Every structure is written in structure tokens, then in C-alpha cells.
Amino acid sequence: MIPQKVDYKRAGSVAEALSLLSANPDAKILAGGHSLIPAMKLRLNSPSLLIDIARISELRFIHEQDGGVKIGAASTHHDIVSNATIRELYPAMAEAGELIGDTQVRNVGTIGGSIAHADPSADWPAVLLALGATINVEGPAGAHDIPASEFFTGFFSTALEEGEIVTAITLPAPSAAHQSAYKKFMQPASRFAIVGCAVAIVADGGTITDAKVAFTGVSDAAFLDEAVAAALIGQPAIPETIEAAANAAAEGDIHINEDHFASQAYRKHLAKVYAKRALVEACGL
């Protein structure tokens, strides 16, 4: 399996990557290549030029910022799960990152590539939604920020405009009583999520004061399940609350995926089971 002919250029800076991208409409950004190269080998994707951004140092960093953490787009999954601050502040990031693919994939694949690709079964999108992350973007019109809740717009689709790249992901400072967790039921061969659930809650004195619950694998794109969050906020952090909230998962006007691994009914069931497991862990029950 060999990709179609393609030119390759390694960009030395974000500015160079952006100018190459605007000069070559058929070009594609290449980060880890662990979604793009397999697709090119299958000839599902045949760009004329690959603009490699993986070694741009201004895209590969993890640093603390305003009590939160900013992650450069070219940080690998391994960079993220081996970062002590991220592990401490956002357990859901560590749990999700460790479950991506395998060692070799985590050594090469990047968070920016994962979210730009927006595979409906990818792990990071659900976690970024639950944590209320901001996606930092740069393009021909300059830099701007997109809330994760507006970034994942559909099946392999994002709010990125033509010529724009993701430069970083900013995770907000967690409040004192913040907890997060990620649980996934994985496809046994690829390890992609059949259902993945990320939760972030704030429980103040036993009462849940804030909650975000997001799913991947369930629908065309990762999404925040408002009904589950609504059933948690203002309630005591006890098993009965979690049971009731988890039962509200993946209901209502949501398109549920179906494939030969899981029917719609089974996915819906898994969404409730994995919401419950993630909430039990986040609430420390």
C-alpha cells in the first residue's frame, strides 16, 4: 500500500506553514501522520503537498498558564500522558491518552492532529469538551480562539476554516473541588472508542455544583450531553444521583451511530453504562 505521489515540505515555523498552506490549496498539514498516512496508503486522501509541522518547536510544548495548562498542537499523545501537571490537574486527560491506540501510535500521533481530523470515535474530543477547553487557531486572518463546544461540528468536520491550523489547546484552571474521568469501551482491534465518556464535575461539600459530560463514538461528532449534566447539577454526589443522570445519556434528539460492532440500541446502552462508570470515578464513590 503506497500513497499517491505527493510533495513534502517541512515547515520551520507557524508562519511558514500558513504561507505554504495558502499558496497550495491542495496541500495538507502533516503532524504525526497517524491518521493521514494510513488514509493516503488506502488512497482515501491524495493531497499534492504535505506540510510537516511536527518539528516546529513553537507547536510542541506543554506549559502552565493562569492555573491551567496550554498544550502545543504538535505535542504527542505520549508527551501529554507523561506530563505530571496534566496528570494531577486533569485525570481524564491521562486516562484518555493512555487508551489511545498503542505505544507506537502514542509516540507519534498528536493532539492537534487528532482534533483537526475529528474522527467520530477519537478520544481527545470528548475530554476537551468535558474540560471546557479552548482551541487556539491561526490562519490567514490571524489568531483566534474556538471553544471546544463549537469546534466539533460533525462527521470528520470542525470549525477550522480553509487555511487555518490548530496551534494549541488551552485547558482552563480547574476549581478546587474539580474532578474528571474518562472511560471507554474500545474496538478490540483498533482501540478506537465504540463509546467513550468524559466527565468533569465540581462537588462542593457533597453537592454537585457544576458538571459536564461528553461522549465520543456515540454520534457523528463528540458532543456534550446536556441532559446528563442537568440531572447532576444541584444534586448530592450519591449513587442515586449518578444512576438517574446516567440513564438520561444519549436520549433525545441525538443521531446514534450504528455499525457492525454495535447497534444503536447497544451504543445507547453503553453510553449509560460508561457515563455511570466515569461519574462513579469522578465522584470518588
**Site residues, ligand FAD (CB under 6 A):** 28-36, 38, 53, 73, 100-101, 105, 109-110, 112-114, 116-117, 119, 122-123, 165-166, 190-192
CB of 155 closer than 8 Å to CB of 181? no
**Between residues 5 and 260, which has the closer beta carbon with respect to another protein?**
5
Which one of ligand FAD, another protein, none is in contact with 258 (Cβ closer than 5 to 8 A by kind)?
none
What does 52 bind: ligand FAD, another protein, none (CB cut-off 5 to 8 Å by kind)? another protein
Cβ proximity to another protein: between 105 and 280 the closer is: 105
Q: Which of 164, 152, 102, 92 is nearest to 125 (CA)?
A: 152
C-beta separation of 208 from 195 below 8 A: no
Which of 85/157 has CB closer to ligand FAD? 157
Q: Give the nearest distance from C-beta 281 to ligand FAD in angstroms.
A: 19
CB of residue 147 vs another protein: minimum separation in angstroms? 32
Using CB under 8 A, list all residues that contact another protein: 1-8, 10, 30, 33-34, 37-38, 40-42, 50, 52, 54-55, 78, 101-105, 107-108, 189-191
**DSSP collapsed to 3 states, 190-259:** CCCEEEEEEEEEEEECCEEEEEEEEEECCCCCCEECHHHHHHHCCCECCHHHHHHHHHCCCCCCCCCCCC
How open is the CA angle 109-22-13, to the nearest 5 degrees? 50
